Structure 1
Amino acid sequence: MMESTSEIMNKGMKCLMEQMGIIEAERFISVIIRVKFDYTKWQRDYFDAKTPMEIREEAFQFEREHPFTGDAIRL
């Protein structure tokens, strides 16, 4: 079943607050709104500026820092 918009927003805010704290999460949201942030463009610019080897190394680094445990995160 598809989640409602409010359920997705609640999960997103919970993630932001857990990772950034409430103040930084609120600042992040205000910046996104103020600058009319285009995530798709940002992602394109970010990855276009990297070589495949850089992306590969970042993925390996992420895996080293966040190893898969098989436990799903429940929000």
Structure 2
Amino acid sequence: MKTESELKLAGVRALIAALGPVDAERFIAAMHREPFDYTRWRGDQWQDATVAGLAEQARALRARVATPD
């Protein structure tokens, strides 16, 4: 298991890899500005989704990852 410091570093690196350094910083700043309940957000995120729809999104993502541009 990672320490809290290692986890934070890995998270920042993942954000930078996904968003780039500028947008990663903007995302972090936005999270600090607004009250945000991650657990509630995750619970609400897929509320209207179907299993079939999520499965299709997963297949599409896997296909994109397997054959990057």
TM-score, normalization by structure 1: 0.77
- Aligned Cα RMSD in Å? 1.2
Aligned residue number for residue 17 of structure 1: 16
* TM-score normalized with structure 2 length: 0.83
Aligned residues: 66
User: 1:36 Cα shift?
Assistant: 2.3
**Greater than 6 Å deviation, 4+ residue runs:** none
String of CA shifts for 1:21-65, please: whole Å, max 9, x gaps. 111001111111222222221111111121111111111111111
Query: Which structure 2 residue ranges, 5 or more long, are not aligned?
Result: none
Distance 1:58 1:30 in 2: 29
Please tell me the residue identity of whatever aligns with 1:30. A
Structure number with higher helix proportion: 2
Q: Is 1:39–2:35 an aligned residue pair?
A: no
